[in-house]
Amino acid sequence: MSAIKRFLLWDYARATWQYDLMVALILAFIFLTPREFFRDQPRASNIVRLPSTAGESAFLVEAELLESLPEAQRGPTVERLLKGRFGRRENVVQIEPIFGTERETRGYIVHTRP
């Protein structure tokens, strides 16, 4: 029982075999545990601010956020998403689709004004 207590409280001196074993177990857990175990997958941001001219802002928006919406609802939806992401109100001026080589929609460039 005292060995478990010492292990949990990290009570071994450095350069002992017990200490080295604990470090090896921690490193094995870090490097051998698959990402799916934690459901932690890298994901790029779905709204990205682009360089733009003075007085106007441009954003790159993932296609999945807008493709299922009718065109009339895209503007208000983007305004709500931008307010939630950047914390300020932007008025949508224009939404331009970006097409891939097969004419599928890859994303949208949204032009806004404050």
Indicate the number of domains in the chain: 2
Q: How many residues does the chain have?
A: 114
For residues 54 and 33, state if they share a domain: no
Residue 27 lies in a domain: yes
For residues 33 and 52, state if they share a domain: no
For residues 22 and 66, state if they share a domain: no
Residue reference for tokens 């779905």: 46
Q: Give pLDDT tens digits along the chain (114 positions).
A: 787 888 788 888 888 998 999 899 999 999 998 877 877 666 656 888 888 777 788 999 998 888 888 888 989 998 988 888 888 888 899 999 999 888 888 999 999 988
Q: Which domain holds residue 51?
A: 47-113
Give the N- to C-terminal CA distance of the chain in Å, as an integer: 65
CA distances from 30 to 22, 23, 34 (A): 12, 11, 9
Residue reference for tokens 């009570």: 11
What is the arrangement of strands in the sheet containing 105-113, beginning at the earlier edge strand? Answer: 47-50, 57-62, 105-113, 91-99
> What is the reported pTM?
0.58
